[in-house]
Amino acid sequence: MRRLIGAFLGILFVVSAFEGLLPEKAEAIPAFARKHSFRCTQCHQQFPKLNKFGVAFKNRGYRLSGEEGKFIWEEKVIPIAAIGRMGWKFTDNRTDTPGGSVNEFKFEGLELFSGGTLAPRISYFIDALTEDNLPLLQFNDILPESALNIKVGQYNVDNYSLSHPRRLTFSTYLVQTTADRGDNVTFSNEGVEVNGQFDESGLRYILGAGDGSTTETEDKLFKSFFGYIMKDFGEKGHTFSVMFRTDESGTKTNNGDSVTVGGGLQIFGERWDLTAQAFHFDGGNDLNFTENAKTNNYKAVSGTVEGTYEFSEKILGVARYDWHDTLDSIAEEYAIVAALQYHFVPNVKLNMEYRTSDVKVGGTSNTAGDEQSLRMYLRFGF
């Protein structure tokens, strides 16, 4: 492990030393930057995390302020892009049992997607290589200047400042907003939503409904309802957000209704930002568990505190603390993540990431033991 750290720091030193020799126009620019002829950092705080401009651009249906959009056949450039990740991983579960340590090279997958306008005031997005394909349409400017848009299809819902697909680390969050304990800081919806933003006041909102449940329960048109309100404040555009989500889970014979509420802050400095969010999940009867001869309703409090620091235009540090606590149970876990990232160009980065986690088993938890891991990987977008 020490040799790997030394090698990574050596790579940073060598690349930094020759940074001035790299041609300025060698930057590979993904889909929307190619279309509008601006740099990736116009929309991204650091690839792939969005900044304020990028959030507003996405909310408008991939349009700049004041644009209606064109028919797709009128575009000079078809907005097609790819994102991938590959690298090396070392994992140690801190036990002396055989197989306790894993050393492997992994290709983490490739996404091929397209988004833009199909016609004036009609936008689309599709991810061609995911299992669900995630096709969506958004009908823009029902009220002027994106104060009201209508989105239909299958898509991911998140609050932008804390996002699973746009996170800066490989490690996922421990946040829980659905019955499935997978990473839920961003959840999938198959249905409809209304959304909008008001640029002058910095207010954004989302209200939606659809089939967001993890399993089949009842034959209803809408099984899940959700909403976000986000408000920018202060000279630097700090963000405050609150959310709610209801859902159904389980089976027709053993179903339950869950409720999630949460929110948090994102604040910005000259070269840093800090995001802190917490969520309370109250599960349905299908998630009841028995511990110490007592039956309990499944409730969990989870959250994260994540900070980034820009050492230079190309070197970024990321540190995060995650937690998940099952109430009325001894089950709890936390994780600490630290990463150092070198951006060769804004959309190609080398990342070294360390993660350590502790788990106490109880309730519905079936993950035992502590773990630490070290990763080095390359992430790219073209």
CATH number, domain at 223?
A: 2.40.160.10
Give me the pLDDT at residue 14, please: 47
Q: Calculate mean pLDDT across residues 202-219.
A: 82
C-alpha 135/C-alpha 153 separation (Å) is 6
Going by their DSSP bridges, the two strands 371-381 and 187-198 should be labelled as unpaired
Give me the pLDDT at residue 25, please: 38
Q: Calculate mean pLDDT across residues 292-298.
A: 87
**326-349 residue pLDDT tens:** 998 988 999 999 999 999 888 889
Domain extent for 166: 2-381
User: Which CB contacts under 8 angstroms, 24+ apart, belong to 5-14?
Assistant: 5/352, 8/340, 8/350, 8/352, 8/376, 11/342, 11/350, 12/315, 12/340, 12/342
Q: What is the DSSP letter of 105?
A: E
**Residues paired with residue 267 on neighbouring β-strands, in sequence order:** 274
Whether 212 has a pLDDT exceeding 50, the answer reads yes
**262-273 residue pLDDT tens:** 999 999 999 999
Choice between 101 and 363, residue whose per-residue pLDDT is larger? 101
Cis peptide before 165 (omega within 30 of 0): no
Q: Calculate mean pLDDT across residues 182-190.
A: 85
C-alpha 172/C-alpha 138 separation (Å) is 28
Give me the pLDDT at residue 162, please: 87
**36-58 residue pLDDT tens:** 777 777 888 888 888 888 888 98
Listed in sequence order, the residues at least 6 apart from 37 whose beta carbon sits closer than 8 Å to its beta carbon are none
Average pLDDT score over the chain: 84
pTM: 0.86
Give me the pLDDT at residue 20, please: 46
Q: Dump strand ranges (E) for the chain.
A: 44-46, 49-50, 80-92, 101-119, 122-127, 136-143, 148-157, 187-198, 203-210, 224-233, 238-250, 255-268, 272-282, 289-291, 294-296, 299-310, 315-326, 332-345, 348-360, 371-381
**11-38 residue pLDDT tens:** 445 444 444 444 333 333 467 777 777 7
Q: Are 382 and 28 in contact (CB under 8 A)?
A: yes
Going by their DSSP bridges, the two strands 187-198 and 148-157 should be labelled as antiparallel
Three-state DSSP state, 208: strand
* Domains contained in the chain, number: 1
Which of 42, 128, 123 is closest to 81 using CA atoms? 128
Rg for the chain, CA atoms, rounded:
22
Whether 128 has a pLDDT exceeding 90, the answer reads no
Residue 99: pLDDT band (50, 70, 90) is: low
Whether 126 has a pLDDT exceeding 70, the answer reads yes
C-alpha 261/C-alpha 244 separation (Å) is 4
